[in-house]
A and B are shown apart, each in its own frame.
Chain A
């Protein structure tokens, strides 16, 4: 069964460093998402991406964040200058075309900023 994959599973970085989280969505999906879950809190929407551009972003997704689909298969989230409060589990999801399609989630990347 097709699945969304994410790498790395755990990333430790120092405050102020740049990180890139990688995702490989399901191959025939057209909508891509990033969510995050700070420990003990709810899963929060960060950004959605369709047709090679951002379709919506939350207030969390400020100028420190960017997304890219560099090669037609990978979908990346970059944080330019990490802060302590960026420590969280980051989930990638993808969805097929059509309003009734559900989002399929990857296993997540745990980002720890020290």
Chain B
């Protein structure tokens, strides 16, 4: 069974500082991995995805994530935080559970606060 662990329910950074949000996964087969962002009172928006091509994945808004199989990790980074990055971030794993279903299993989320 697949699972996702996000270390740190709340991360606070200063504007301009590095953002690092941690995600570790467990999957019995090569996984597909996703980062979603949720702004207040909005739905889940895809930031980036890993689908077994390049291990370094670039997404929207300057975010990127690196898939490390040996560490079963898919950490999300951004070199310089912006106030508009304040949101909740969810890591998710997907595997084919039959019939090309690819349901998502989410982590608990990390709330990112950006201080001026």
With a cutoff of 8 Å between Cβ atoms, the chain A residues found around residue B42 in the complex are 107
- Asked if A55 is an interface residue, CB under 8 A from chain B, the answer is yes
Q: How many A-B pairs with Cβ below 8 Å?
A: 69
With known contacts A41-B108, A43-B44, A43-B90, A99–B100 Cβ distance under 8 A:
yes
B:49-89 near A, CB below 8 Å: 49, 51
With a cutoff of 8 Å between Cβ atoms, the chain A residues found around residue B43 in the complex are 4, 6, 91, 105-108
Interface centre among A45, A50, A99, A102 (most CB of B within 10 A): A102
Partner of B106, one of A42, A106, A107, A108: A42
**Residue ID in chain A nearest B51 by CB atoms:** A100
What size tier do the contact residues of chain B reach?
A: 20 to 34
Q: Which 6 A-B pairs have the closest CB atoms?
A: A105-B44, A107-B43, A43-B106, A105-B43, A42-B108, A100-B51
Task: Using CB atoms and an 8 Å cutoff, list the residues of chain A in contact with chain B.
Answer: 4, 6, 31, 33, 35, 41-45, 48, 50, 55-56, 91, 93, 95, 97-100, 102-108
Beyond known contacts A43-B90, A102-B46, A105-B36: 19 more, CB 8 A cutoff: A31-B101, A31-B102, A33-B104, A35-B104, A35-B106, A42-B106, A42-B108, A43-B109, A44-B106, A56-B97, A56-B103, A93-B44, A98-B100, A99-B32, A100-B51, A102-B34, A103-B46, A103-B104, A105-B44
